[in-house]
Chain A
């Protein structure tokens, strides 16, 4: 992490970056590779928010076991985000409830937002990147 702390584009500008995680953690590589961008953005000292919506809420589900599909389980990374000063995690309430999940089913503390609250949060952002 010490190398990443050195990242600086030289401008001193801090923008609000929102990452929209829309896909299930496995089945496609979007969630895994998306997480890489999140960590690098934090290393540039930007104001990072993570949103989990649609099947993206499955990324935070407890009890993920990838042994059977023989791929890396990267769910531990979500627990380590705090160490990268990434503390703004949001879950879309309607996506979570549509999948029969509640906050107790998730591996990290999140803010659960209504559609209206999500809309307002998105409107505040400078950059929205969706994976």
Chain B
């Protein structure tokens, strides 16, 4: 089954992006595919390569980048939500790209399931 994932909350402040990551990993381990993950609202803050969490904490952004590289996942950050929050191309971690909301709608149209993680 093809899963699209929508992440609506920023990292660390809220569990949503952790849950989304664990769900994506579990789905892939079970043989499903996750072609694209879309980041909206404060979720766009998952994409910043400027974050430096303490050594003993997980690094949510690099974890996304690694998952994307290993499984060819398209990590899409909403342009309008990103600009509103100061997220720019030059701040993106590897594997992320900025694009429009149409990419989210496409996930709903093309994939078997769209799963939202948020408040």
For A10, give the chain B residue with the smallest CB separation: B106
Is the Cβ of A17 less than 8 Å from the Cβ of B108? yes
The complex places the Cα of A44 from the Cα of B106 at a distance, in Å, of 9
Q: Which of B105, B109, B119 contacts A37 (CB 8 A)?
A: B105
B81 interfacial contact with A, CB 8 Å: yes
Note all chain B residues with C-beta closer than 8 A to A131.
8, 118
Contact with B along A1-29 (1 / 0, CB 8 A): 00000010101010101000000000011
| Total chain A interface residues with beta-carbon distance under 8 A | 22
Note all chain A residues with C-beta closer than 8 A to B106.
9, 44
Note all chain B residues with C-beta closer than 8 A to A37.
40, 101, 104-105
Q: Which of B40, B81, B105 contacts A9 (CB 8 A)?
A: B105
Is the Cβ of B110 less than 8 Å from the Cβ of A40? no
Q: Which of A22-61 contact B (CB under 8 A)?
A: 28-30, 33, 36-37, 40-41, 43-44, 46
Q: From residue B38, how far is it (CB to closest CB) to chain A in Å?
A: 10
Q: Which of A7, A28, A130 contacts B116 (CB 8 A)?
A: A130
Q: Which of A11, A28, A29, A36 contacts B109 (CB 8 A)?
A: A11
Contact with A along B74-86 (1 / 0, CB 8 A): 0000001100000
Give the bracket for the number of chain B residues in contact with chain A: 10 to 19
Is the Cβ of B102 less than 8 Å from the Cβ of A33? no
A129 interfacial contact with B, CB 8 Å: yes
A121 interfacial contact with B, CB 8 Å: no
Q: From residue B78, how far is it (CB to closest CB) to chain A in Å?
A: 8
Is the Cβ of B108 less than 8 Å from the Cβ of A130? no
A and B contact pairs by CB, cutoff 8 A, 25 listed: A7-B105, A9-B106, A11-B109, A11-B110, A13-B110, A15-B108, A30-B8, A30-B41, A33-B81, A36-B101, A37-B40, A37-B101, A37-B104, A37-B105, A40-B104, A40-B105, A41-B105, A41-B108, A44-B102, A44-B105, A44-B106, A46-B108, A127-B108, A129-B108, A129-B114
Given contacts A41-B105, A129-B6, A130-B118, 9 further A-B contacts (CB under 8 A): A7-B102, A9-B106, A15-B109, A33-B81, A40-B101, A40-B104, A46-B108, A126-B108, A127-B108
Residues of A near any B CB (own CB < 8 A) = 7, 9, 11, 13, 15, 17, 28-30, 33, 36-37, 40-41, 43-44, 46, 126-127, 129-131
